[in-house]
Chain A
Amino acid sequence: MPKLSYLKALNRAIGDEMDRDEAVCVFGEDVGVAVTHATAGLLKRFGPDRVLDTPISEQAFTGFATGAALAGLRPLIEFQIPALLFLVFEQIANQAHKFSLMTGGQTRVPVTYLLPGSGSRESWAGQHSDHPYSLFAHVGVKTVVPATPADAYGLLATAIRDDDPVVVFAPSGALGVREDLDPAALVPVPLGVGRIHRSGTDVTVVAVGHLVHDALAVAEELAGTVSVEVFDPRTLFPFDWSGLAASLERTGRLVVVDDSNRTCGIGGEIIATAAEEMRLIAPPRRVTRPDGAVLPFARELDLACQPTRAQLRAAVEKAVGAG
């Protein structure tokens, strides 16, 4: 079977959706030459009326996509770096997201915002290394963080078909992941349905995005001593609360590993909900970036702010020991 990379899966999802629906169009900076590779080949295949290189005007082209959506199109916007989301937060959180309710359901805004390379890349420093998915979950914008090529394909396809705005964070730490996949097996994946990558009975590790792979590695390290279940929510908003509850029925212990800042991060919400509503037999733990973190440039400093396998392993051992 051919190996499919995460990045190629994103590219294939966009192309397949453009094939099946004329309304799908792509906006972004340097999407014609596909600087990030996510849009490779699309300009040649679909032409400049559907793949538009934009000026460096993130706020305008994000609002522009909202208008195009109100007029019947299904735009996908690619942002080269995640910090640009801070710049266009008004256009997404305050405009696109609010149109349906404010108009009393008169309209829909089916725009997809794709971030291929979210989170830390190798020393890209303070303004290129954020991973702001918790912000979007907080305001209620559908928020997706796929961990594998098949999920990257399936969740992006679903996001494009969704009638609401959806932000798709493709973590830079996952872009290089490859999977043996039959292309015919690539199918849309519903939003709000988590995935158990590894079953276990002692502790549930909820891992977001690329951290799923770290969680699987830690689970393997601990195999024989601790039975770790790795739960990948895949979408952070809506979140698969019933899937998490079912997992905690089995394990009763919870560790969350989340590559966003600690205060008001999604990890805090997962733990709060579990504490309020689910079966826990030990205090839950979380591994996150530090409060208010700005990723420093030097590689060792950058890494010092990101969740590590060692931290996750320690948290799992503590959670189990405390039981």
Chain B
Amino acid sequence: MADPTTGPTADPATDPAAALYRTVALVRGFEQRAVELVRAKVVPGGIHPYTGQEAIAAGTCAALRPDDVITSTHRGHGHVLAKGADPARTMAELAGRTTGLNRGRGGSMHAADFGVGVLGANAIVGAAVPIAAGAAWAFRRAGSDRVALSYFGDGAVSQGVVLEAFNLAALWRVPLVLVCENNGFATSMRTADTVAGSILGRAAAFGIPARTVDGTDPEAVRDATAEAVARARAGGGPTLLECTAYRFDAHHTWEHTARPRYRTDEEVAAGRARDPLEIQGARIPAATRAAIDAQVAELLDRAVRFACEGPHPDPATALDHLYATGMRARAGVR
């Protein structure tokens, strides 16, 4: 392999390491821009930043096909982008514009793009796991080899519905990849204070193969996911990957004002030292990295402009899409 600091420029379109770096950089940059837009009050409501966990989204989605599907979490921008959603329309969704992925109806916590297999971020912890299992079962029943991948956090492994879904998925051998993003915290609670036993032990109880993966290393995540996906496609049923990482920023941008204290600056600095962006960046030529950084920055500049320029929805359309059949609800005041 060429010396990454002096070697020739690699093309993300053909070089997997460069492609992974590009996704990590895109998600990192997107989150930073989104936080800025929260502070500028362009994005209402705030966001749950994904910084520090980008390798998980990038690595897992690199092992999926475009026709595979994912379900996501309330910290979902990284998954949505890595699966292929347009950054500009994703940012417009965060800003609540009609040009957003969900026409401004979902926002940060519900970003969905069925066109690229994103069955939605989900704001109820663990709720999407059985949904992904059901989609996976439908694929198998239709005779296809598509798979579903469900992201959930370490906090979700104490939700009953998640464990019930483990049972169903294992019992019926559905083509499902279970990705637990262990970022160390369920909001402010440390994993050790919320999980009795272990996350891998949860899977073992249902006979689901499980392993822990370094969730700061995009290539390690990709390779582990590829094995799990191959197993699912071959009819082997679900696999659990516990991907460990450290959440760099607040649970929610709200923390910037409320400032709850549940970790020290020293700890955060130590966590930030293991940075997926640097880990993957070191694997590609410096010139490639610089070229990707410039391209991503330009893409995100355009995304921010697109989001800011998008029209706000007409209040008269507030309940459009409430029913897929087009049924209209009665107004609250008549």
Question: Among the listed A57, A103, A110, which residue makes an inter-chain contact with B106, where contact means beta carbons less than 8 Å apart?
Answer: A103
Give the distance in Å from the alpha carbon of A91 to the alpha carbon of B115 in the complex: 24
The B-contacting residues of A in range 96-110, CB under 8 angstroms, are: 99-110
In this assembly, does B129 line the interface, its C-beta being within 8 Å of a C-beta of chain A? yes
In this assembly, does A140 line the interface, its C-beta being within 8 Å of a C-beta of chain B? yes
Q: Which residues of A contact B327 (CB under 8 A)?
A: 142, 164, 238
**Chain B's nearest CB lies how many Å from the CB of A3?**
34
Interface hub of B71, B167, B324 (most chain A Cβ within 10 A): B324
A66/B134 contact (C-beta < 8 A), A57-B164, A103-B106, A106-B102 known: yes
B101 touches A68 (CB 8 A): no
Q: Which residues of A contact B319 (CB under 8 A)?
A: 101
Task: Report B130-143 CB contacts with A as 1/0, cut-off 8 Å.
Answer: 11111111110110
A60/B165 contact (C-beta < 8 A), A101-B105, A103-B110, A105-B321 known: yes
Q: Which residues of B contact A110 (CB under 8 A)?
A: 324
- Number of B residues near A (Cβ < 8 Å) is 52
Give the distance in Å from the alpha carbon of A223 to the alpha carbon of B113 in the complex: 60
Q: Which residues of B contact A164 (CB under 8 A)?
A: 323-325, 327
Task: Report B50-74 CB contacts with A as 1/0, cut-off 8 Å.
Answer: 0000000000000000000101000
In this assembly, does B171 line the interface, its C-beta being within 8 Å of a C-beta of chain A? yes
Give the distance in Å from the alpha carbon of A101 to the alpha carbon of B131 in the complex: 17
Give the distance in Å from the alpha carbon of A90 to the alpha carbon of B330 in the complex: 23
In this assembly, does B112 line the interface, its C-beta being within 8 Å of a C-beta of chain A? yes
**Chain A's nearest CB lies how many Å from the CB of B144?**
10
**Chain A's nearest CB lies how many Å from the CB of B202?**
14
The B-contacting residues of A in range 131-157, CB under 8 angstroms, are: 140, 142
A70/B119 contact (C-beta < 8 A), A101-B105, A103-B105, A103-B114 known: yes
In this assembly, does B186 line the interface, its C-beta being within 8 Å of a C-beta of chain A? no
In this assembly, does A179 line the interface, its C-beta being within 8 Å of a C-beta of chain B? no
Q: Which residue of B lies closest to A60 (CB)?
A: B164
In this assembly, does B268 line the interface, its C-beta being within 8 Å of a C-beta of chain A? no
Interface hub of B110, B114, B134, B136 (most chain A Cβ within 10 A): B134
A61 touches B168 (CB 8 A): yes
In this assembly, does B13 line the interface, its C-beta being within 8 Å of a C-beta of chain A? no
Q: Which residues of A contact B231 (CB under 8 A)?
A: none
In this assembly, does A55 line the interface, its C-beta being within 8 Å of a C-beta of chain B? yes
In this assembly, does B124 line the interface, its C-beta being within 8 Å of a C-beta of chain A? yes
The A-contacting residues of B in range 296-331, CB under 8 angstroms, are: 319-325, 327, 329-330
Give the distance in Å from the alpha carbon of A108 to the alpha carbon of B119 in the complex: 11
Q: Which residues of A contact B131 (CB under 8 A)?
A: 63-64, 66-67, 70, 95
Q: Which residues of A contact B325 (CB under 8 A)?
A: 108, 162-164
In this assembly, does B286 line the interface, its C-beta being within 8 Å of a C-beta of chain A? no
A61/B130 contact (C-beta < 8 A), A70-B135, A103-B120 known: yes
In this assembly, does B160 line the interface, its C-beta being within 8 Å of a C-beta of chain A? yes
Task: Report A32-60 CB contacts with B as 1/0, cut-off 8 Å.
Answer: 00000000000000000100001101011
In this assembly, does A72 line the interface, its C-beta being within 8 Å of a C-beta of chain B? yes
Task: Report B154-166 CB contacts with A as 1/0, cut-off 8 Å.
Answer: 0000001100110
B105 touches A163 (CB 8 A): no
B171 touches A55 (CB 8 A): yes
**Chain A's nearest CB lies how many Å from the CB of B265?**
37
Question: Among the listed B104, B106, B122, B164, which residue makes an inter-chain contact with A59, where contact means beta carbons less than 8 Å apart?
Answer: B164
In this assembly, does A73 line the interface, its C-beta being within 8 Å of a C-beta of chain B? yes
A68 touches B134 (CB 8 A): yes
A104 touches B324 (CB 8 A): no
Q: Which residues of A contact B142 (CB under 8 A)?
A: 71-72
In this assembly, does B100 line the interface, its C-beta being within 8 Å of a C-beta of chain A? yes
A71 touches B161 (CB 8 A): no
Q: Which residues of A contact B132 (CB under 8 A)?
A: 67
In this assembly, does B148 line the interface, its C-beta being within 8 Å of a C-beta of chain A? yes
B320 touches A105 (CB 8 A): yes
Question: Among the listed B69, B103, B171, which residue makes an inter-chain contact with A105, where contact means beta carbons less than 8 Å apart?
Answer: B103
Q: Which residues of B contact A109 (CB under 8 A)?
A: 324
A104 touches B106 (CB 8 A): yes
Q: Which residues of A contact B330 (CB under 8 A)?
A: 241
Q: Which residue of B lies closest to A273 (CB)?
A: B330
Give the distance in Å from the alpha carbon of A164 to the alpha carbon of B168 in the complex: 24
Q: Which residues of A contact B69 (CB under 8 A)?
A: 71
Give the distance in Å from the alpha carbon of A60 to the alpha carbon of B164 in the complex: 5
**Chain A residues close to B by CB (< 8 Å):** 25, 49, 54-55, 57, 59-73, 75, 90-91, 94-95, 99-110, 140, 142, 162-164, 238, 241, 276-277
Nearest 10 pairs between A and B by C-beta?
A: A67-B134, A63-B130, A60-B164, A108-B324, A104-B103, A71-B138, A105-B321, A104-B102, A64-B134, A67-B131
- What are 11 A-to-B residue pairs whose CB atoms are below 8 Å? A57-B164, A59-B130, A63-B161, A64-B131, A67-B131, A72-B142, A90-B124, A104-B106, A104-B321, A110-B324, A238-B327
Q: A54-B168, A57-B164 are in contact. List 4 more A-B contacts (CB 8 A).
A: A101-B319, A142-B323, A164-B323, A164-B324
